[in-house]
């Protein structure tokens, strides 16, 4: 077996592993969300399917599969099917460039625990995430339903507004690290040298934008049940609806991974140099990264079950008149500090 074959096999395994882990985590996020919601509201949450209700997501998935797959008569059929597909595809795609752990040595070969180290990693994420809104837009538009269309329009305008603030807050990080590659950015935050200590404002802007990008409460205007009956996925049923909902949870997982990587040091943790064995160090790093991700997922849910939904004009006001100027100022200050330190 030559080196290239080993490389290919390991990369393929990694793709499958991360694909599987992403799906598994997204599945259980639905359960987790319901449990967190219940506990925050003095309830128990799902506890019937299996011990503590841990089989609930499987039951939900089974239900989704057996539901009637309904396509409205006057909808654009191909686009109607394409919508959830795009949403799911783009959601899964972003996981490929997140460094899940430091380098590990297997079969005498050194591998990054990362599917692809693209030198424009962050730009890739921003690009894919903005394609993600096409799934919502196409799905909502193809449904031939006013509520869906409203949801789609809201989703797209919200994404565009908040992507700006998000991009601007990332620029400050890129200026500090001098690289667009996520691998480099994470590697530079070795130990406790996390970006959040240098970019607290940037972090808050990024967090708020990430909530908006994921269509999470308090920015879930694209699907607000009380106004739009479910927004862009009003007309969807069966596994197509499942794909939309699922894509949302994958997006949340990936966003939390990106927040952890950009601002909270990814797989880095304090006193990591005290562990001499690089494999052990790497494995602990991966565990630490997942710990951080789960903390942020919990934060997302916590925020969702705490805050009421923003009104549409408030959303736009917050995005354009507050976050973007703040992000610009943050960028300017970062630039000035870097310049004076040279």
Partner 1 sequence: MKPLTNRAKQVVNKEMTFSEKIYLPAVLGGLKTTMSHFFKKQATVRYPEEVRPFSDVFRGKHVLKRDENGAERCTACGLCAVACPAEAITMVAAEREKGEEKLYREEKYAETYEINMLRCIFCGMCEEACPKEAIFLTTEITPANYDRSNFIYGKDKLVEDVNHRTDITTRQAHKNLAK
Using the contact rule CB under 8 A, the part of the chain among 39-47, 174-182, 223-231, 262-270 near partner 1 is 39-47
Cα gap 199→68, rounded to integer Å: 49
Using the contact rule CB under 8 A, the part of the chain among 26-34, 36-44, 88-96, 159-167 near partner 1 is 36-44
- Does 302 engage in binding with partner 1 (CB under 8 A)? yes
* Token pair for 275: 């562990």
* Minimum gap (Å) between residue 26 Cβ and partner 1: 23
- Does 313 engage in binding with partner 1 (CB under 8 A)? no
* Token pair for 162: 């908040």
The phi-psi region of residue 207 (left if phi > 0; otherwise alpha if psi is between -120 and 50; otherwise beta) is alpha
**Among residues 21, 40, 49, 164, the one that binds partner 1 under rule CB under 8 A:** 40
The answer to whether 175 and 332 are in contact (CB under 8 A) is: no
Strands, DSSP E only, in 35-117?
Answer: 101-106, 109-113
Cα gap 39→105, rounded to integer Å: 42
- Does 316 engage in binding with partner 1 (CB under 8 A)? no
Residues 6+ apart with CB under 8 A from 278: 102, 103, 104, 105
Q: Give the position of tokens 């939390």.
A: 256
The answer to whether 129 and 210 are in contact (CB under 8 A) is: no
* Minimum gap (Å) between residue 37 Cβ and partner 1: 10
- Does 303 engage in binding with partner 1 (CB under 8 A)? yes
Nearer to partner 1, 24 or 322 (CB): 322
* Minimum gap (Å) between residue 318 Cβ and partner 1: 8
* Token pair for 295: 């903390």
* Minimum gap (Å) between residue 254 Cβ and partner 1: 23
Counted residue by residue, the chain has a size of: 342
- In degrees and rounded to multiples of 5, residue 331 shows phi and psi of -65, -45
* Minimum gap (Å) between residue 187 Cβ and partner 1: 31
- Does 317 engage in binding with partner 1 (CB under 8 A)? no
* Minimum gap (Å) between residue 39 Cβ and partner 1: 5
Q: How many residues bind partner 1 (CB under 8 A)?
A: 15
- Does 329 engage in binding with partner 1 (CB under 8 A)? no
* Minimum gap (Å) between residue 307 Cβ and partner 1: 6
Nearer to partner 1, 277 or 313 (CB): 313
- Does 44 engage in binding with partner 1 (CB under 8 A)? yes
**Among residues 16, 20, 24, 43, the one that binds partner 1 under rule CB under 8 A:** 43
- What is the Cα gyration radius of the chain? 21
DSSP 296: H
**By rule CB under 8 A, what string of x and - marks binding of each residue 171-210 to partner 1?**
---------------------------------x------
**Among residues 307, 329, 333, 338, the one that binds partner 1 under rule CB under 8 A:** 307
Residues 6+ apart with CB under 8 A from 256: 292, 293, 294, 296, 297, 300
> What residues make contact with partner 1 under the rule CB under 8 A?
38-44, 47, 204, 302-303, 305-307, 322
């Amino acid at each position: 077996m030559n080196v290239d074959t080993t490389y290919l096999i390991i990369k393929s395994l990694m793709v499958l592993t991360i694909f599987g882990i992403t799906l598994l985590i997204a599945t259980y996020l639905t359960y987790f969300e319901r449990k967190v919601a219940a506990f925050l509201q003095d309830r128990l949450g799902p506890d019937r399917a299996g011990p503590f209700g841990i089989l609930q997501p499987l039951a939900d998935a089974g239900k989704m599969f057996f539901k009637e797959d309904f396509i409205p008569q006057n909808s654009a059929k191909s686009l109607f099917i394409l919508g959830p597909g795009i949403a799911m595809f783009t959601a899964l795609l972003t996981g490929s460039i997140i460094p899940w752990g430091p380098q590990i040595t297997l079969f005498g070969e050194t591998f990054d625990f990362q599917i692809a180290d693209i030198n424009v990693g962050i730009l890739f994420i921003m690009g894919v995430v903005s394609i993600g809104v096409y799934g919502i837009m196409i799905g909502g538009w193809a449904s031939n339903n006013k509520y869906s269309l409203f949801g789609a329009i809201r989703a797209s305008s919200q994404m565009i507004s908040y992507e700006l603030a998000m991009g601007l807050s990332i620029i400050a990080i890129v200026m500090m690290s001098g690289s667009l590659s996520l691998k480099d950015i994470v590697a530079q935050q070795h130990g406790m040298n996390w970006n959040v200590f240098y970019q607290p404002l940037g972090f808050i802007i990024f967090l708020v934008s990430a909530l908006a990008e994921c269509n999470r409460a308090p920015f879930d205007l694209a699907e607000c049940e009380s106004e739009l009956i479910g927004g862009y996925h009003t007309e969807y049923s069966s596994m197509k609806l499942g794909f939309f909902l699922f894509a949302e949870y994958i997006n949340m997982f990936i966003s939390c991974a990106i927040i952890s990587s950009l601002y909270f040091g990814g797989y880095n943790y304090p006193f990591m140099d005290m562990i001499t064995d690089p494999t052990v160090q790497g494995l602990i790093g991966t565990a630490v990264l997942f710990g951080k991700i789960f903390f942020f997922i919990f934060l997302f849910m916590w925020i969702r079950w705490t805050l009421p939904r923003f009104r549409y004009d408030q959303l736009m006001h917050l995005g354009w008149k507050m976050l973007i100027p703040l992000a610009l100022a943050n960028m300017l200050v970062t630039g000035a500090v870097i310049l004076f330190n040279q």
